[in-house]
Structure 1
Amino acid sequence: MRIAIVGAGLSGLTAAIALEKSGYDPVIYEATSEVGGRVKTDIVEGYQLDHGFQVLLDAYPKALEYFDYESLELQRLLPGAQIFTGKKTVTVGDPTRHFPFLLPTLEAGVAGVRDIYLLWTLHRELERMTVEEVFQIPEMTTAEFLSQRGFSEKIRRNFFNPFFSGIFLEPDLNTSCRMFSFVFKMFGKGYAVIPKKGMSALPTQLLGKLKKTEIHYNSPVKRVEEEKIILADGAEFAFDAVLIATDARGLVPDEGGNEIQWHGCDTLYFEAEKRSIQKPLIGLVANPDALVNNIFFPTSIQTGSSGPKELLSVTVVKDHDLSESELVARVEEELKGICGLGGLRFLKRYHIRKALPKVNLSGTDLSGVEKKTGNNIFLAGDHLFYGSSNAALYGGEQAAHAIVRYLGNRP
């Protein structure tokens, strides 16, 4: 039995691992020259640049199953943030996991006593829920959810909006409250971490687990039919089952449904003489008129490769029509005026049009229902569930199990 996998992102690689465990030797066709999909890392002038500021939440259930955390040498970010308003800079954090945050959080004035209590009760409530139960919470936007829970306008403006806008890649918190609750639950159980060698270490580690899978790089697939796939160069190959671990529209002529909508972002990297945030903390820009959403200094943690000075990552999630030079100038102006950062040297910009899928979570099903089109064409990817690396791993695994049920196990 021959199985083809289209795409060597987290979903495709996870599916291949699961298929190998069931006795199959899948073949992966990857359009680019490396694995990873949306999770990649470049080395530029010695600096380690992830394609967009990304972190892994180490409490993700599927991440715990598929990754060897020790060999990844995960670098932990502190459970807090430094908030820049343009008028003052304050530090807030979770003192239950990092006690030195207690005094600055109380003095910051970002949240009232009632907000602290509401945070604690929400954490306890979500802690008792399973992931499946979280995704059955009554649907509404995150903004509506926070308002309904009684959080003050102050904490929403100064913390929730800038922090979760950077996660959801949209400035108005229109993302489903189910996604917010899931992420909030994961933050409560663990930490945001980055592998020492960058986020690309995640797919690289999955690749290293494959023993019998054949991978064809630089092999974009043009079309998928019931019994074969057709590459862009016209080559055709017959398969008993095909897993499309990427957007299936355009590959399968009869694939229905709406086109996948995406949140995009800009991530700009600068070389800096010094860090304005000394510890491994995310910097949040709480000025509603600013284009910059968050900043981070990757050199505040250990990296596999480093340049001679400090590295600064800047994320923009708001829509704009600026050219690259105009964007760089605007960002440098805001960094100097709001964050007190000057003397920067621009390194590279990543304009990521497809950074995070927009998913309607009102019908999200995490019970293992098969995602497929036609008789033997199966689907995987976080866009079918909810946008995260956990969903990408889960989707690949579920698709592999569906293929095994279809073809039969081969121990």
Structure 2
Amino acid sequence: MTSTQADAVVVGAGLSGLACAADLTRAGMTVRLLEASDAVGGRVRTDRVDGFLLDRGFQVFNTSYPQVKRRFDLRGLRLRPFTPGALIHTPQGSRLFTDPTRRPRRTADLVPGRLASGRDLMALGLVSALDMLSPVRALKRGPERTTETALAAAGISPALIETFLRPFLSGVFLEEELETSSRFFHLVWRSMLRGTLCLPAEGIGAVPAQLAESLPPDCLVLDTAAQALTDKGVRTEDGGHWEAPTVVVATGAFAAARLLPGLEIPPTRTVSTYHHVAPASPLGEPTLVLDSRRRFLNTCVQSDVAPTYAPAGSALVCTSVLGESGVEREGEVRAALGEVYGTDTAGWDLLHVDTVHGALPAMIPPWPLTRTTRVAPGRYVCGDHRATGSVQGALASGTRAAREVLTAAAPGRSH
């Protein structure tokens, strides 16, 4: 039986746990970060299969998040950007909805009447300007309703919602009803307008790996699954006991509820991603592709974004759908991809299918954008399910947990 002592034990080395552990060690605390898997990242992982980099689910990295700016060496991640905007497959053909301030030479589809009416373009432009220029605190305190209700109230027609906004935002929120909190929508829309969506050259797993590099050598303990919390710390499945007066549970929502009975957790979203190998790129540009018929959430040629995702002479096409979806649905997805990309997909190979349970919390209003992490003396919980379903939300929740732990540990305070 292994026994060790520390000032704090953090359970889970996803983004939230890594941020919490980093802040606590920086403040001088001895921390043990326990991770059940063989590497850090939680849901933010990359696997190498036959020379391809496979992110677990379709993921992007947004450079504008405050926590990203604070914590990461962006140059070290070797980021590769997506085209600002999305290519939408419609019954009338493909239309490019792009940011005219960034790609002024590719705005032909923004001519009124081609993709949207002049009134719709003005309404969406006003929403974008307000979100981009308003202080964050104003967006957080704005009226809260569903995203669909907020878009309609802004004067955006059902036609534009169905053609572009619902297909696009379904991939962001992992739900098709646009029932996600409008406050979160405005914050995400702002972040997309102010930042760049990218992929690290070595896969999304490079993001948590960079966080882990800042930890002391004896902090991170892999392949060590927490079984239960005890009065003195954490008991692990291998029979070990890790003693500490403070325990921070930084796992996903379901695992957190198992370790902290009675913890209220939100419903979550599940997403599946098909990784196809094609002999050549069916697109030739780093652009997110949407389907107005919503036969999938989104698709992209990831090797067009970052060539390092695929060996030379092949292309990696990644396509996400809502919910659990095994190989049996692959034929439907492949047929839709053939139509959307305008190519014969019969020769594509299915390399892998990823299903991510609890990929995002269901942020149905009223949704608190942040909440306390302290659940009992010496017991804390953090993660995107305690904030917002995003890289920013996970990192911010871990940051808050560390701050509340340090506040409780101050002289004269109780854990």
Mapping 1:12-411, distance limit 5 Å: 12-106=17-111, 109-211=114-216, 213-246=218-251, 247=253, 248-253=256-261, 255-257=262-264, 259-288=265-294, 290=295, 292-307=296-311, 308-317=313-322, 319=323, 324-341=326-343, 342=345, 343-364=347-368, 366=370, 370-408=372-410
Amino acid at match of 1:199: I
Task: Write out per-residue CA displacement over residues 363-386 of structure 1, whole angstroms, 9 at most, x where no aligned residue.
Answer: 5154xx631121001111111011
Q: 1:360, CA displacement in angstroms?
A: 4.4
Q: 1:132, CA displacement in angstroms?
A: 3.1
Distance 1:140 1:74, change over 3 A: same
In the aligned structure 2, how far is the partner of 1:243 from the partner of 1:67?
Answer: 23
Q: 1:261, CA displacement in angstroms?
A: 1.6
For the residue of structure 2 that corresponds to 1:362, the secondary structure is coil
Give 5+ residue unaligned stretches, structure 2: 1-5
Ranges of 4+ aligned residues in structure 1 off by more than 6 Å = none
Please say if residues 225 and 252 of structure 1, whose CA atoms lie closer than 8 Å, have aligned partners that are also in contact: no
Give 5+ residue unaligned stretches, structure 1: none
Please say if residues 13 and 42 of structure 2, whose CA atoms lie closer than 8 Å, have aligned partners that are also in contact: yes
Task: Write out per-residue CA displacement over residues 329-359 of structure 1, whole angstroms, 9 at most, x where no aligned residue.
Answer: 1111211234323232111000112211123
Name the count of aligned residue pairs.
Answer: 400
For the residue of structure 2 that corresponds to 1:378, the secondary structure is strand
For the residue of structure 1 that corresponds to 2:166, the secondary structure is helix
In the aligned structure 2, how far is the partner of 1:145 from the partner of 1:340?
Answer: 35
Please say if residues 273 and 320 of structure 2, whose CA atoms lie closer than 8 Å, have aligned partners that are also in contact: yes
Distance 1:365 1:302, change over 3 A: closer
In the aligned structure 2, how far is the partner of 1:361 from the partner of 1:398?
Answer: 22
In the aligned structure 1, how far is the partner of 2:199 from the partner of 2:288?
Answer: 13
In the aligned structure 1, how far is the partner of 2:145 from the partner of 2:275?
Answer: 35
Please say if residues 199 and 306 of structure 2, whose CA atoms lie closer than 8 Å, have aligned partners that are also in contact: no
Amino acid at match of 1:67: F
In the aligned structure 2, how far is the partner of 1:103 from the partner of 1:305?
Answer: 31
Q: 1:238, CA displacement in angstroms?
A: 1.8
In the aligned structure 2, how far is the partner of 1:98 from the partner of 1:64?
Answer: 24
Q: 1:212, CA displacement in angstroms?
A: 5.2
In the aligned structure 1, how far is the partner of 2:387 from the partner of 2:184?
Answer: 10
In the aligned structure 2, how far is the partner of 1:234 from the partner of 1:109?
Answer: 64
Q: 1:252, CA displacement in angstroms?
A: 2.2
Q: 1:56, CA displacement in angstroms?
A: 1.3
Please say if residues 203 and 309 of structure 2, whose CA atoms lie closer than 8 Å, have aligned partners that are also in contact: no
Amino acid at match of 1:249: A
For the residue of structure 2 that corresponds to 1:250, the secondary structure is helix
The range that moved more, 226-235 or 344-353, is 226-235
Amino acid at match of 2:29: Y
In the aligned structure 2, how far is the partner of 1:274 from the partner of 1:365?
Answer: 43
Task: Write out per-residue CA displacement over residues 274-310 of structure 1, whole angstroms, 9 at most, x where no aligned residue.
Answer: 323221110001114x2x2211001112344522311
Amino acid at match of 1:294: N
In the aligned structure 1, how far is the partner of 2:237 from the partner of 2:91?
Answer: 51
Amino acid at match of 2:356: I
Distance 1:130 1:137, change over 3 A: same
Please say if residues 278 and 300 of structure 1, whose CA atoms lie closer than 8 Å, have aligned partners that are also in contact: yes
For the residue of structure 1 that corresponds to 2:271, the secondary structure is strand
Amino acid at match of 1:333: A
In the aligned structure 1, how far is the partner of 2:37 from the partner of 2:103?
Answer: 42
Task: Write out per-residue CA displacement over residues 33-58 of structure 1, whole angstroms, 9 at most, x where no aligned residue.
Answer: 11001000011121111111100111
Amino acid at match of 2:263: G
Amino acid at match of 1:251: L
TM-score, normalised by the number of residues in structure 1: 0.92
Distance 1:214 1:83, change over 3 A: same
In the aligned structure 1, how far is the partner of 2:132 from the partner of 2:289?
Answer: 27
Q: Cα RMSD (Å) of the superposition?
A: 1.9
TM-score, normalised by the number of residues in structure 2: 0.92
